[in-house]
Copies of this chain bind each other. A is one copy, B any other.
């Protein structure tokens, strides 16, 4: 018996419907069926009556299922409570300095929420840095304990885990001719002017140049402005001074004049040769349970 199976069981018991429960639980219906079967075969008795789907998709708890549901809920409650109390006792006055940089606004909020929700008793200090390169530097120098960064990481002293995987997307003014074109390729962009984020610390950005060379043009020559922050980039693109590239998970809701367009290869497949991944990182030698637990939280999102 596993806690996962208990969660699945409670999910099905509440939905009384495998497919619907699977959606809520974020697993496939087949995985859900299998785990419920495993649970039943461990206990030795059916927990649900499927009745060979005799009547209208009737899934009902058996008598054994009914009594087991109560215990399953208790176990899950105790599971949560046990973690909470152990954390409260073990983490009194522990401090975590969490480094963030200016990109990825939505993501950092989500993660801070996740951190404080799961570890309400730690002293979480947010350290704002301007670029992800500075985050890496601060991690290595021990000024922060954990932080956001883009991949790849050059320094081997850091351990990172992908938080959000993205590809390169195009940032256009809504008024741009291409804003309505469904399949944009790199080649389509050969006559554009470009705004670029300072790339001194980002190896990914260099790969854009290579990709443009492959597509048959030299983008570097068309860069009209290099900026250091997203805000200025957004402004310049809005003004029509040029277009820009950025991670596909950027949140442009607050920039009504801009649109984020995915890129495609010539054959119509998504252009994902250049991966832009946002990751959470810590200095490997500073690993301790609390930091590893925070790292572990990202797989829930």
> Cβ of A293 < 8 Å from any Cβ of B?
yes
A75 close to B82 (CB less than 8 A): yes
> Cβ of A81 < 8 Å from any Cβ of B?
yes
Shortest C-beta distance, A235 to chain B (Å), equals 41
> Cβ of A294 < 8 Å from any Cβ of B?
yes
Interface positions, chain A 48-82, Cβ under 8 Å from B, are: 62-65, 67-68, 71-72, 74-75, 78-79, 81-82
B86 close to A79 (CB less than 8 A): no
Given A67-B85, A83-B1: A90 touches B43 (CB 8 Å cut-off): yes
- For chain A, the bracket of interface size reads 35 or more
Q: Which of A2, A81, A90: most chain B Cβ within 10 A?
A: A90
Residues in B with CB closer than 8 Å to A40 are 289
> Cβ of A91 < 8 Å from any Cβ of B?
yes
A86 close to B64 (CB less than 8 A): yes
A87 to B89, CA, bound (A): 37
B82 close to A44 (CB less than 8 A): no
Shortest C-beta distance, A97 to chain B (Å), equals 16
A70 to B41, CA, bound (A): 29
Add 5 more A-B contacts to A41-B293, A44-B292, A62-B90 (CB < 8 A).
A41-B289, A41-B292, A43-B289, A44-B293, A71-B78
